[in-house]
Amino acid sequence: MSHSTHAVAHDQESIHHEATPNARSFVTFAVLAGMAALALFIGFSDLGAMKVVASLAVATVQACVLAYFFMDLRAADKLTWLAAVSGIFWVFLMFLFILTDFITRHLGVL
């Protein structure tokens, strides 16, 4: 039956799932703390219009590291990946359609 096949697939994916060893957690933390310091360094410097771009780039990498290691996407099953990617995709759609309208209004006027 497809039902039991599905359950077995779940088992296969879960067998290798274990709580993150402490050593890896410390390394992840060190990387994230380094990037937080970098984010502050960028925030305290005068990069003009590039500041927001650089800051958001660092924040995005930070979020990815956090999700991959601390939130264990590294060892996650396909369903979890699907949830994570869907969330990002729906937010992307929301930004796309809302900002298409808003940032093309009042272009440079007043």
Please state, as a whole number, how many other Cβ atoms lie within 10 Å of the Cβ of residue 66: 15
Using the rule CB under 8 A, is 100 a contact of another protein? Answer: no
**To which H or E segment does residue 107 belong?**
none
Build a one-symbol-per-residue string for 45-84: x at contacts with another protein by CB under 8 A, - elsewhere. -x----xx--xx-xx--xx--xx--xxx---xx-xx--xx
Q: Are 84 and 73 in contact (CB under 8 A)?
A: yes
CA distance linking residue 47 with residue 55, whole number of Å: 10
Find tokens 């949830």 and name the residue.
83
Using CB under 8 A, which of 1, 2, 5, 44 touches another protein? 44
Find tokens 């590291």 and name the residue.
65
Q: Which residues bind another protein (CB under 8 A)?
A: 4, 7, 10-11, 13-15, 17-22, 25-26, 28-29, 32-33, 36, 39-44, 46, 51-52, 55-56, 58-59, 62-63, 66-67, 70-72, 76-77, 79-80, 83-84, 86-88, 90-91, 94-95, 98-99, 102-103, 105-110
